[in-house]
Amino acid sequence: MEAISHAGTVLGVLAKDGVVLAAEKKVTGKLLDLSGAKEGGYGGSGEKIFLLNSNVISGVAGITADANSLVNYARTAAQRHLFSYDEDIPVEQLAQRLCDLKQGYTQYGGLRPFGVSLLYAGYDVHYQFQLYHSDPSGNYSGWKATCIGANNGTAQSLLKQEYKDDISVEDAIGLAVRVMGKTMDSTTLGSEKLEFAVLTLDKSTKQPHARIYKPAEVDALLAEHGLGKKEEDAEMKAA
Partner 1 sequence: MSIMEYNGGSVVAMVGKNCVAIASDLRLGNQALNVATFDKIFPVTDRIYIGLSGLATDVSTLRERFRFRVNMYTIKEEREIEPDTFAHLVSSTLYEKRFGPFFIEPVIAGISSPSRGSKPFIAAADLIGCLNFAKDFVVAGTASSELFGIAEGLWEPDLEPEDLFETISQTLLNAVDRDAFSGWGAVVHVITPDRVITRTLKGRMD
Q: Which residues bind partner 1 (CB under 8 A)?
A: 40-42, 51-53, 72, 75-76, 79-80, 82-83, 86
CA dist 42 and 207 (Å) reads 17
C-beta of residue 179 within 8 angstroms of C-beta of residue 196 = no
Cβ neighbors of 181 (< 8 A, separation 6 or more) are: 189, 225, 227
Residue 51 CB, nearest approach to partner 1 (Å): 6
CA dist 37 and 211 (Å) reads 14
Choice between 29 and 40, CB closer to partner 1: 40
Residue 208 CB, nearest approach to partner 1 (Å): 14
Choice between 83 and 108, CB closer to partner 1: 83
Choice between 102 and 214, CB closer to partner 1: 214
Choice between 42 and 105, CB closer to partner 1: 42
C-beta of residue 18 within 8 angstroms of C-beta of residue 10 = no
Cβ neighbors of 126 (< 8 A, separation 6 or more) are: 90
Residue 71 CB, nearest approach to partner 1 (Å): 9
Choice between 120 and 163, CB closer to partner 1: 120
Residue 159 CB, nearest approach to partner 1 (Å): 29
Residue 233 CB, nearest approach to partner 1 (Å): 34
CA dist 114 and 137 (Å) reads 9
Choice between 46 and 174, CB closer to partner 1: 46
Give strand pairing partners of 120. Answer: 58, 132
Q: Concatenated DSSP letters for 179-204?
A: HHHHHS-GGG-STTTEEEEEEEE-TT
Instruction: Give start and end residues of each alpha helix (H) in 114-231.
Output: 152-162, 169-183, 215-224
CA dist 86 and 105 (Å) reads 30
Amino acid at 125: V
Residue 120 CB, nearest approach to partner 1 (Å): 15
Residue 49 CB, nearest approach to partner 1 (Å): 13
Choice between 122 and 136, CB closer to partner 1: 122
